[in-house]
Amino acid sequence: MTGYFLDELARFCAETTYEALPEKAVHQAKRAILDLLGCALGGIRMGCHRGVTKYVERLGGRPEARVWSIGARVPAPHAALANGSTAHHLELDDGHLESASHPGISVIPAALATAETVVTTGQDLILSIVLGYEVCIRFGLATGLGIREHGLHGPGLMGPLGAAAAASRLLGMGERQIGAALATAGSLLPVAPYESFVEGTPSKDLYGGWAGFSGIIAAELARRGMDGPHRFLEGKRSVGTLLLHGSVPETRELLHGLGSPCLIENIYFKPFAASRAVQPAVSGILRLKSEHGFTAEVVESVHVQIYPFSAELSADSSLDTPVSARLSIPYAVATAILTDGLWPEAFLPEALGNETTLALASRVTVTSADRYGKESTGARSSVVTVVLSDGRVLSTEVVHSKWDRHVPASDRELSEKFHRLAGGGAASEGAAALESAVWRLEQLSDAGALVNIICDIGGQI
């Protein structure tokens, strides 16, 4: 291994074939696609980011790829921007815990938009997505501690590299051009402050769309001779120096085990429409409710001890906006007690103002549990304790949240989530056809067939 971090990733992307992918990675890619498309359809159903959609439609341009909610053809980067932003809003897209990344929202919209511009088989699409996840997660593993220290939001900062990798492979680029695409994407990374999430601004959702937008542009420019800094991570004035104060690990260490296993195999899926920081608390309260059968009326108080970063985010959150509310542990726990879940509808304005939910949330307290660690790779765990009106005190520790990779979602559970987000009525038949196409994606001669079905459903919602 003699090249820089980006060069070695480019070589891996150029040399890896579909046939070389582990069966588990192929299956996980299909699960990730189904999950992301469910998030997108749920976002369309709830009217998320119509402003972005209207803007890219108004811009016009070369009709390359479609905006899923309206079917309009726009330039591929613009389609990825609109589709990724819409899908990210619900906070239900996948993630990788150790790298604090959300690869799906960055990689899949970019891959599908690019797939509409070239002849792409289902196997091509799967391969590009597996590679995009690998690049995105590897970057997150390399820089995650620095990203957290500087108060940045990982998905926005890491995503463009993954999107560029997926787009480059679909465009048939070789090692040198893929390296140029990754370097160019790396030189254009957004700062992505976490404050946008805490303050609850809609621009936070652009972190999903912007990654695809900039990643595709980087790939297309690399095809035309553009290049960027290949010492992107290791250089004296590099991103690595900025984020890690010059203490960048050796490239060999950062790329240990590259592709074996593929890192897409280690992602988690979300059962609850909130920040990953909230998931342990919701997992705990629902476990206690399932085991003991209590109702909201008999809950005197709930106390959540949770890893420090989660407690900090919850304390800084506000119920004034749906975005920031997705960081609130008291609101999430109260909603879960009342509804046995935490779906996107819980963050509509009328739900955020529900007096019963707010009254119950006022009886939920949160404290920081330092034993779980403050680092981005520390334990993301919690202890949830409920005091009932009959004097019983119930408690459980959640080491791994529901659907984390240690307790993964089944295919059936992901299917149920997908159909719930897609909605019923006229969209049901299309959703069933889309799911069927995803599960047999490796057999499709034209991956663009997925987009045809997505747009049909989007027009019916």
Residue 141: which CATH number? 1.10.4100.10
Residue 372 to residue 118: CA distance in whole angstroms: 47
Q: Do residues 343 and 233 share a domain?
A: no
Residue 210 lies in a domain: yes
Q: How far is C-alpha 334 from the geometric centre of its chain's CA atoms?
A: 25
Residue 448 lies in a domain: no
Domains contained in the chain, number: 2
Q: Do residues 229 and 364 share a domain?
A: no
Residue 286: which CATH number? 3.30.1330.120
Q: Do residues 305 and 377 share a domain?
A: yes
Q: Do residues 152 and 254 share a domain?
A: yes
Last residue of one domain, picked from the residues 242, 266, 290: 266
Q: Do residues 164 and 296 share a domain?
A: no
Q: Do residues 29 and 164 share a domain?
A: yes
Q: Structural domain of residue 284, as residue ranges?
A: 276-398
Last residue of one domain, picked from the residues 266, 294, 312: 266
Give the residues across from 302 on adjacent strands.
364, 386
Residue 429 lies in a domain: no
Residue 12 lies in a domain: yes
Q: Do residues 326 and 179 share a domain?
A: no
Residue 388 lies in a domain: yes
Q: Do residues 321 and 201 share a domain?
A: no
**Per-residue confidence in pLDDT tens, the chain, 461 aa:** 468 999 999 999 999 999 999 999 999 999 999 999 999 999 999 999 889 999 999 999 999 999 999 999 999 999 999 999 999 999 999 999 989 899 999 999 999 999 999 999 999 999 999 999 999 999 999 998 888 888 888 888 999 999 999 999 999 999 999 999 999 999 989 989 999 999 999 999 999 999 999 999 999 999 999 999 999 999 999 998 888 887 887 888 889 889 889 999 999 999 999 999 999 999 999 999 999 999 999 999 999 999 999 999 999 999 999 999 999 999 999 999 999 999 999 999 999 999 999 999 999 999 999 888 755 556 889 999 999 999 999 999 999 999 999 999 999 999 999 999 998 887 899 999 999 999 999 999 999 999 999 999 988 88
Query: What are the helix (H) ranges across 234-339?
Result: 239-244, 251-254, 279-292, 308-316, 322-325, 329-339
Residue 416 lies in a domain: no
Residue 409 lies in a domain: no
Q: Do residues 156 and 66 share a domain?
A: yes
Identify the CA nearest to 109 among candidates 204, 28, 39, 186.
Answer: 39
Q: Do residues 25 and 142 share a domain?
A: yes
Give the residues across from 304 on adjacent strands.
366, 384
For 397, the enclosing helix (H) or strand (E) is: strand 393-398
Residue 91 to residue 432: CA distance in whole angstroms: 23
Residue 424 lies in a domain: no
Q: Do residues 63 and 201 share a domain?
A: yes
Last residue of one domain, picked from the residues 204, 233, 266: 266
Q: Do residues 166 and 247 share a domain?
A: yes
